[in-house]
Amino acid sequence: MHVAALALTASLSFLPDIGWQEDRAEDAHQLALCQAYRDQMKTDGKTAELQQQATAYCDLLAREYRRNWDFDRPQEPAIDFNDLPLDPPPTRQ
């Protein structure tokens, strides 16, 4: 019995951690609720200021979700190639 428990524990310890899926689902749910609330404010005829605040908050959540969970986007280079000097520095004569 102890050997079976040890074997089961050892095999389960190599399973991947899927806690990130819960975080991703929670973020997606929060973003969907924000967008639904924003759309409801537009149909209820709330003030333009409240609509702008709701839109800005939803945009912030969307950018954060995209930054954290968009695995298909191309990775940004570590070095900005526009800042690299192309010509060697001038030499003294």
Q: What is the pLDDT along the chain (93 residues), one digit of tens a residue?
A: 577 776 666 666 666 667 888 899 999 999 999 999 989 888 888 788 888 899 999 999 999 999 888 877 666 655 555 655 566 666 776
Q: Rounded to an integer, what distance in angstroms lies between the CA atom of residue 85 and that of residue 65?
A: 35
User: What local confidence, expressed as pLDDT, does residue 43 receive?
Assistant: 86
pTM summary value: 0.57
- CA-based nearest residue to 25, from 63, 89, 69: 69
Whole-number pLDDT of residue 85:
56
